[in-house]
Amino acid sequence: MIYAIIHTIHIFSVFIYGGFLFVDILFLSKMKQTLNEEEQKLARESIMMHVRKVVPYALMLAVISGLYMLFNIFGEISKDGLSNFQIMLSVKAFLGLWLGFRGINQKFFGINPWVFKSHLFPFSLVIIIILLSQVMFL
């Protein structure tokens, strides 16, 4: 029962974080086409003011709940080594932890990413994580 609740929390947290990245990449970045630079900055900041209150915490919740699930479903390592499931789960965990580390640095320490400053790379990682989650049980 606890696992199901944490899994649900994880899914909603990922929807919030991934949804923001989706909206930012596909819609907010296009404001430059219809607004002048000053209007675009004002519009983006008025949206981001609210985003900063929710999205970083959703990311952290996704990472924490993901770690809980990882430790519950990873399983024992056999004599033959890691199974395909464990390998894909490890890749997902690494990518999720990287996103979480990046988000914590930005939110709490004001450290902006050294590389990949746009949201395109994190969005790509979220897509990869989602695809891995769909094929890792095959």
Q: Which tens digit of pLDDT belongs to each residue from 76-96?
A: 999 999 999 999 999 999 999
Q: Which two tokens stand for residue 125?
A: 């990682």
CB 122 within 8 A of CB 21: yes
Q: Is the pTM of this model over 0.85?
A: yes
Q: Which two tokens stand for residue 109?
A: 């320490």
The pLDDT score that the predictor gives to residue 119 is: 87
Residue 123: what residue type?
F
Q: Mapping DSSP to helix (H, G, I), strand (E, B) and coil, where does residue 117 land?
A: coil
Q: According to the model, what pLDDT value does residue 112 have?
A: 77
User: DSSP secondary-structure letter at 34?
Assistant: T
Q: What is the pLDDT of residue 86?
A: 93
Question: In the chain, which stretches have pLDDT less than 50?
Answer: none
The rounded radius of gyration (Å) of the Cα atoms in the chain is 17
What is the pLDDT, as a whole number, of residue 96? Answer: 95
Q: Determine the 3-state secondary structure of 81 from DSSP.
A: strand
